[in-house]
Amino acid sequence: MAVEEAGSEGLDPLDDEARFRALADHAPVMIWRTGLTMGCDYFNRPWLDFTGRSMDQERGEGWADGVHPEDRERCLRSFAEAFAARSEFSMEYRLRRHDGAWRWVLDKGRPVYRDGAFAGFIGSCTDQTDSRQALEDHRRALEERETLLAELHHRVKNNAQATTSFLGLQASRASDPMVAAALRGAATRVMLATLVQDRMFRVPPDAGVELGAELATTARMALEITGRPGITLDLQLEDALDLPVSQATPLALIVNELVVNAARHAFPDGRAGRVALSVRRAGPGLGEVVVADDGMGLAEPPRRNTPQGCLGLHLVPRLARQAHASLKLDGSQGVRATIRFACR
């Protein structure tokens, strides 16, 4: 975009130049100017103070002597292309400060027109070194964090696999069927929870979790690993809900517990059955997940710490609190769990 400059009638051009230089010398940025050639004919006081050089040393292409050797050719080429095209430009390069330090500057220039005729370029430079360093430090901190998290995740996953193997081995050696069933149940629970955590770990830090797809995967995996034949899974994923990992993880673990509980306890004597999972938006800013089965239901509150006690039903309320969700559990006709939570 061209800058239109028009001198005021009756004013001495020398007065205009003196006024311009006075203003430029008090500007909080470094300012340069060219005429009809690429050679610069003016630098303001902040520029000269920064470089520690005189106006005569900087004029023409003398200023380029202060540009870092690795950046000089690129810098001059970009300037020449913009000058020839009479177009604005913006570029970064390293400029030597008066104390010899190389500082990254952001240089922006634009063409100047007087009475419709091209009159040269004017530009400004700002020191970007501290900002660039802050961004680089932030990037390195994120990389270190990701490395540490990956190592932690790897160790937790290995420990969980070892725990699952240990519980399975103990179950195979247990003489009491109830103890063996409890150990196998614990091994399955650890395995499924590890799979959920593993999927969540792979979500990029700045991305959300598509809840419907994640819960569908969780439910399918739970039925597959429990190995209970004759149970079908019905899915109703009406709306795409994106949630942060911190909220999606406990919701996935809730679905995992409810599906495992249905597979183990809702259909005795090997009878067939159905487990339904629905995910929808229940209202503005409100999401809803429903897990329901058409099994035997809950005749009475389940006892804790026994295979028949449906440990998963005791874990679900705690997980709901972690997800900042409400939980409604109905066991009159099968088991129907309704989880509601805030969402965008």
User: Are residues 290 and 242 part of one domain?
Assistant: yes
**Which residue shows structure tokens 């509601």?**
340
Residues 296 and 331 sit within 8 Å (Cβ to Cβ) = no
Which residue, among 273, 271, 314, has the nearest Cα to 294 in the 3D structure?
A: 273
Burial 169-198 (b: 16+ CB within 10 A, else e): ebbeeeeeeeebbbbbbbbbbbbbbbbbbe
User: Are residues 222 and 304 part of one domain?
Assistant: yes
User: Are residues 110 and 32 part of one domain?
Assistant: yes
Q: What is the C-alpha to C-alpha distance for residues 310 and 104, in angstroms, rounded to an integer?
A: 64
Write down which residue in 179, 206, 233 finishes a domain: 206
Residues 93 and 99 sit within 8 Å (Cβ to Cβ) = no
User: Are residues 216 and 147 part of one domain?
Assistant: no
pLDDT given for residue 156 in this prediction? 63
CA atoms within 13 A on the CB side of 171: 16
Neighbours of 131 (CB within 10 A): 12
User: Are residues 222 and 326 part of one domain?
Assistant: yes
User: Are residues 24 and 80 part of one domain?
Assistant: yes
Number of domains in the chain: 3
**Secondary structure class of 112 (helix, strand, coil):** strand
pLDDT given for residue 229 in this prediction? 86
User: Are residues 260 and 172 part of one domain?
Assistant: no
Roughly what angle, to the nearest 10 degrees, separates helices 245-261 and 311-322? 170
User: Are residues 68 and 164 part of one domain?
Assistant: no
Kindly list the distances between the CA atom of residue 197 and the CA atoms of 24, 202, 203, 218, 250, in Å, as whole numbers in the listed order.
59, 9, 10, 11, 10
Domain extent, residue 280, equals 208-344
Instruction: Say if strands 102-114 and 3-5 run parallel, antiparallel, or are unpaired.
Output: parallel
Kindly list the distances between the CA atom of residue 264 and the CA atoms of 162, 179, 228, 271, 281, in Å, as whole numbers in the listed order.
24, 15, 8, 11, 30
User: Are residues 123 and 9 part of one domain?
Assistant: yes
pLDDT given for residue 160 in this prediction? 62
Return the sign of the alpha-carbon dihedral for residues 221, 214, 274, 234. Answer: negative
User: Are residues 232 and 145 part of one domain?
Assistant: no
CATH at 293: 3.30.565.10
User: Are residues 123 and 27 part of one domain?
Assistant: yes
Q: What is the C-alpha to C-alpha distance for residues 31 and 179, in angstroms, rounded to an integer?
A: 81
Return the sign of the alpha-carbon dihedral for residues 67, 71, 73, 74. Answer: negative
Q: What is the C-alpha to C-alpha distance for residues 341 and 281, in angstroms, rounded to an integer?
A: 10
Write down which residue in 127, 160, 176 finishes a domain: 127
Length of the chain: 344
Q: What is the C-alpha to C-alpha distance for residues 320 and 339, in angstroms, rounded to an integer?
A: 8
Q: What is the C-alpha to C-alpha distance for residues 342 and 145, in angstroms, rounded to an integer?
A: 29
CATH at 23: 3.30.450.20
Q: Which residues pair with 76 in a beta bridge?
A: none
User: Which residue type is seen at 256?
Assistant: N
For residue 45, count CB atoms less than 10 angstroms from its CB and return exposed for 0-12, middle for 13-18, buried for 19 or more: middle
Write down which residue in 180, 206, 232 finishes a domain: 206
pLDDT given for residue 7 in this prediction? 43
Instruction: Say if strands 102-114 and 89-96 run parallel, antiparallel, or are unpaired.
Output: antiparallel
User: Are residues 341 and 233 part of one domain?
Assistant: yes
Which residue, among 292, 289, 293, has the nearest Cα to 327 in the 3D structure?
A: 289
- Residues of the chain short of pLDDT 70, as ranges, are 1-14, 148-161, 164, 166-167, 183, 205-206, 299-313
pLDDT given for residue 308 in this prediction? 45
